[in-house]
Structure 1
Amino acid sequence: MSTYDTIVIGAGHNGLVCATLLAKAGQRVLVLEANDCIGGLAASREFHPGFHASVAQSFYALPGTLIKDLGLAKHGFEAASAPMDTIALSPDEGPVTIGDESVSGVSADDASAYQRYRRQLKTFAAALAPFWEKTMPGIGGNSLKELLTFAHMGLKLRMLGKDDMLEFLRVASLPMRDLVDEHFESEALKAALCWDGIVGSKLAPRSPNQAVLTLLNRMAGSHSGQHSLPAGGTRGFVSALRGAAEEAGVEIRLGAAVKNVLIEGDENGQRCRGVILVDGETVNANKVVSNADPKTTFLKLVGTPHLEIEFSNRIRRLRCDGFVAKLHLALKDRPQFTGVSTPDGRIILAPSMDAIEFAFDDAKYGHSSEHPVMEILIPSLRQPNLAPPGQHVLSAQIMYVPANPEGGWTQASRQALLDKLMAVLERYAPGIGALTLSAELLTPADLETQYHVTHGHWHHAEPAIDQLLMMRPTYEAAQYRTPIEGLYLCGAGAHPGGDLTGNPGRNAAREMLI
């Protein structure tokens, strides 16, 4: 019977980050992955012979410090030297091209306002950046170290200066629509800027809550939240993570699904002792850290008999409805989008904030929108090995698509959604249908089935204000530790949340090494 210092459940990027840092600290670490490949939502998949894509399609929140901490450059991964432009397309306006410091295709007033908007958000993002890479202390009974974290946060905000601090406190909980309406006139520009705060969440431009905080979290990464696609893409990132993990001594087992976390109890309480695999094998460990989402971890792998009823109920009530679908197209030639000379940036097909809002309303009531909105990349323009020579991959994130639509996902409902998506694409890229060799549509239900993520939610749990910071995913499990001694969380359901950041995995490893 094998015994390890730590078992990591799930070889998504956070699990690999956590495992590598633990192994670098001298631990014997085993990563167990249910699928036959590593990387989770960042894993590359061959969706048509010779054509490859991944669910996570670009980088915008990956911190440079993580690349350095893990030595990923040694294993072939380096962040892109420059971000991509974002191109917002609309039938009512010409193309709007959005860069880090400037925007074109809009009025002079909007162009000037954009520079002020970016400067202000960068200031706010820089003030918050240290706290995405730290454990957020709980409320009450804090140690000196935890009190110093709160004091550090207060100091960083105070150092903004009175005007910026007051402005931060005002805008931090604004709906994205209110924020961009204050600055701009162009509908296409406003819709594209809203997108970066709400994508992946069950939010629309008018939704109150935390979209601005989510945006500031994303802006703490490389290129201040602007999207990039390094030469190796997500496939190169996952390969480098594996190289770093194996160099550190991490053992990775694929096709090794965990059935239960092994828990023993006595008069002194319960303690995690390892895991039991689906095939019946028991693997012992002093600690187990789960990269699975909180509902899967506690309700399936641990089981409610081992949990207090109040804690179980809070986990059951976590909001984690996936609202993003993925579309992959195998194309026999490069598509041409109207008004775009070369589609090698990120393209937003959401002509207005109302278009986004109406698509959200449809999904909220269990229907796929009649007028879908989406974000598109042609990653093969930067990574030719994703497709055969001269051919291309289109990768699109579709907002909003319900995980459990009225009537369920049937072949007919899938085809109906695909037809709508192709009609939208044809409107902006005439002739794309004739270029399409094959299409793969992954609904949130597919993401749940194939990637073992409850309801297919990107972030494992909605990044709402009551499920963020020292409350993520809920109290008694918000500092990576759980109510069961020896059991930890390291996935997107832990602070600071989802996206390709690695921060939950890094923060969890630090807690486990204390």
Structure 2
Amino acid sequence: MSHSGYDAVIVGGGHNALVCGAYMARAGKRVLVLERRTMIGGAAVSEEVWPGYKVSIASFVMALLQPKVILDLELKKYGLEVLPAPPLFMPLPDGRSVTFWPDQEKMRDEIARISPADGSVYLDYRKHMEGLAPYLQRLIWETPPNVGSRRPKDLLALLKLAVRYWDIGPKFYDFYDVLTQSAYDFLGRWFENDTVKAMLSYYAGGGGGNGSPKTPTTAYALLRPYVRDHGTAAGGAGFVRGGMGGISDAIAASGRAYGLEIRTDAEVHRIILENEQATGVELASGERIMASAVIANADAKTTFLKLIGKDALPIDFAAAIQSFRTTSSVFKVNLAVSELPRYTAFDPKTAGFDYPVQVRIGSSIDYLERAFDDSKYGGIARNPLMTVMAPSVLDSTVAPPGMHLLSIFGGHVAYDLKDMDWETGREVLYDRVMDTLETYAPGMRQRVVHRQILAPPDFERILSLPGGHVHHGDITVDQIFFRRPAPGYADYRTPFKNLYLASASVHPGGGVTGVPGHNAAKVILGDLK
């Protein structure tokens, strides 16, 4: 069976696929999204893992979805509701704690309690980062030019980019530092206290990347939180009512209102190429769907090495895709609990809010480094770094009455374990997560009713994330902008005419931002004119 008449068919139904499809549908194009699973959303999904629970099995909080995407696609109109969360809380081993206040002066004072010297320079650090943020906020919307090309069109695109960012001036060196230095070394320009450095560099390894604060190039992670403006009409960050699938559902509803078609249980077996040009897809069922453009929301390795095949690729391009680093070291443990953790370091009267919905565990540089070291040598962190979230405190729809949902995102674990398989490894990981949690919230084991343990191979198997990497690949200086996913093909196009990428495998990379989908749609719509 064969179908035709589509302007575009999109392989995969992740949030970037839906963003791309929604923009194209609003431009009057007939677009079909094909999702392998029974539900859309990719890693931005809510699943009923246990009866009555809506579990965000992968991504967990809305922190980066761009206001432009929210406003352009009218996502609030189509059901998106973001619930603001109280400040993040970090208990310390000695019984003290740190609260991450959004107010800069309160945060300065909080740091000063730990280190007066570091508190005195915190606002200087913020000013420095905020001076770089506007360039990054602009850069994410750019289509990376081909810097190695000598074609007049590509040279002109490179020249225009240089003109647009001419005002960066002396800040170029500051950007160079962010892209090349470790988070630890970069923070050392301002801060001296170990706990303060650990607080600020936590997401160098705890944000989905494959590294630690002392890993070169991880300073870039310090800038990523500044990529979103939380002061627009789109609203700030927080937990999505109904779980992260609420984002995907709202995007899908926005697209459907303009004719976007979405099919689930529709696994694509191969991308059809004729004369070096993509003409459609063939499903696992044998059904063929033809379209003017094929857009891959799958990761780059799956797209090119599986759906097309290495032998059909240009040699240099195939080598670049094969060497794209996609091995992950993060995990997720989701728990249904009868009672919330009772953190011994938290006092609501002292804190000024009722309960810490987001708790970060990993309060020293050595702690963060050792957690990563364990994974580097094929193991599971003895003391994992963890972000422990309790979305049911804010959102009663994600757990049955009287019950709660805990979502624990952490690191680090090896994709390939050296001394055990993952059947055994999951139990070891669970025990170490619970041991770590009970250090700060005693008695939690006995409150666990259900549990889901997801290691990198599980992310790969369930969500088709290569190597289990939530960003489709490391976001480091050699795998961003001009080079994501391969030199010469960072502009959402591929070596094959009418085949495009719209996923975390392309600029600006992973995170639930919607930007790869937006940028790809812009390029494709221009080509289809």
TM-score by length of 1: 0.93
Which residue of 2 is the match for residue 50 of structure 1?
Answer: 52
1:18-417 matches, within 5 Å, as 18-54=20-56, 55-79=58-82, 84-92=86-94, 94-100=96-102, 101=104, 102-103=106-107, 104=110, 105-139=113-147, 140-141=149-150, 142-155=154-167, 157-158=168-169, 162=170, 166-198=173-205, 199-209=207-217, 211-223=218-230, 228-265=238-275, 270-340=276-346, 341=348, 342-407=354-419, 409-417=421-429
Q: CA deviation at 1:373?
A: 1.1
Q: CA deviation at 1:84?
A: 4.2
SS in 1 for 2:214: coil
Q: CA deviation at 1:466?
A: 1.2
Q: 1:222 to 1:433 in 2, by over 3 A?
A: farther
Q: How far, CA to CA, are the matches of 1:67 and 1:364 in structure 2? A: 39
Q: How far, CA to CA, are the matches of 1:437 and 1:96 in structure 2? A: 30
Q: Deviations along 1:313-345, whole A, 9 cap, x unmatched?
A: 111111100111100110112221122234434
SS in 2 for 1:74: coil
Q: How far, CA to CA, are the matches of 1:391 and 1:502 in structure 2? A: 32
Which residue of 1 is the match for residue 351 of structure 2?
Answer: none
- Matched to 1:202, the amino acid is N
Is contact 1:336-1:343 (8 Å) kept? no
Q: How far, CA to CA, are the matches of 2:263 and 2:467 in structure 1? A: 25
Q: Deviations along 1:347-382, whole A, 9 cap, x unmatched?
A: 110021111111111101110011111111101111
Q: CA deviation at 1:51?
A: 2.1
Q: How far, CA to CA, are the matches of 1:183 and 1:228 in structure 2? A: 29
Q: How far, CA to CA, are the matches of 1:231 and 1:513 in structure 2? A: 32
Q: How far, CA to CA, are the matches of 1:9 and 1:430 in structure 2? A: 46
Residue 436 in 1 paired to residue 448 in 2? yes
Moved more, 403-412 or 459-468: 403-412
Which residue of 1 is the match for residue 3 of structure 2?
Answer: 2
Q: CA deviation at 1:469?
A: 0.7
- Matched to 1:319, the amino acid is R
Q: Deviations along 1:442-494, whole A, 9 cap, x unmatched?
A: 00100100001111101111112111111101113211000011110010010
SS in 2 for 1:97: strand
CA RMSD of aligned residues (A): 2.0
Aligned counterpart in structure 1 of residue 487 of structure 2, from 475, 478, 483:
475
Q: How far, CA to CA, are the matches of 1:57 and 1:151 in structure 2? A: 38
Which residue of 2 is the match for residue 495 of structure 1?
Answer: 507
Q: 1:186 to 1:379 in 2, by over 3 A?
A: farther
SS in 2 for 1:248: coil
Is contact 1:188-1:350 (8 Å) kept? no
Q: 1:346 to 1:369 in 2, by over 3 A?
A: same
- Matched to 2:195, the amino acid is A
SS in 1 for 2:342: coil
Is contact 1:41-1:451 (8 Å) kept? yes
Is contact 2:296-2:502 (8 Å) kept? yes
Q: Deviations along 1:190-227, whole A, 9 cap, x unmatched?
A: 22311233321111111112x23343234211439995
Q: Deviations along 1:13-63, whole A, 9 cap, x unmatched?
A: 001000111111111100000000011111111222222221111122221
Q: How far, CA to CA, are the matches of 1:83 and 1:335 in structure 2? A: 17
SS in 2 for 1:369: strand
Q: How far, CA to CA, are the matches of 2:13 and 2:517 in structure 1? A: 11
Is contact 1:83-1:223 (8 Å) kept? no
Is contact 1:344-1:382 (8 Å) kept? no
Q: 1:194 to 1:495 in 2, by over 3 A?
A: same
Is contact 1:219-1:226 (8 Å) kept? no
Q: How far, CA to CA, are the matches of 1:222 and 1:167 in structure 2? A: 21
Q: CA deviation at 1:408?
A: 5.5
Q: CA deviation at 1:241?
A: 1.1
Q: How far, CA to CA, are the matches of 2:130 and 2:212 in structure 1? A: 23
Residue 459 in 1 paired to residue 471 in 2? yes
Stretches of structure 1 lacking an aligned partner (at least 5 in a row): none
Is contact 1:344-1:379 (8 Å) kept? no
Is contact 1:88-1:189 (8 Å) kept? no
- Matched to 1:91, the amino acid is P
Q: How far, CA to CA, are the matches of 1:145 and 1:440 in structure 2? A: 48
Is contact 2:333-2:409 (8 Å) kept? yes
Is contact 2:183-2:220 (8 Å) kept? no
Q: Deviations along 1:156-198, whole A, 9 cap, x unmatched?
A: x12xxx4x55444444422111122333344333223112333
Is contact 2:241-2:395 (8 Å) kept? yes
Q: CA deviation at 1:145?
A: 4.1
Identity, % of aligned pairs? Answer: 34
Q: How many correspondences in the alignment? A: 503
Q: CA deviation at 1:411?
A: 2.4
Q: How far, CA to CA, are the matches of 1:230 and 1:279 in structure 2? A: 35
Is contact 2:10-2:34 (8 Å) kept? yes
Is contact 1:476-1:483 (8 Å) kept? no
- Matched to 1:320, the amino acid is T
Q: How far, CA to CA, are the matches of 2:248 and 2:86 in structure 1? A: 21
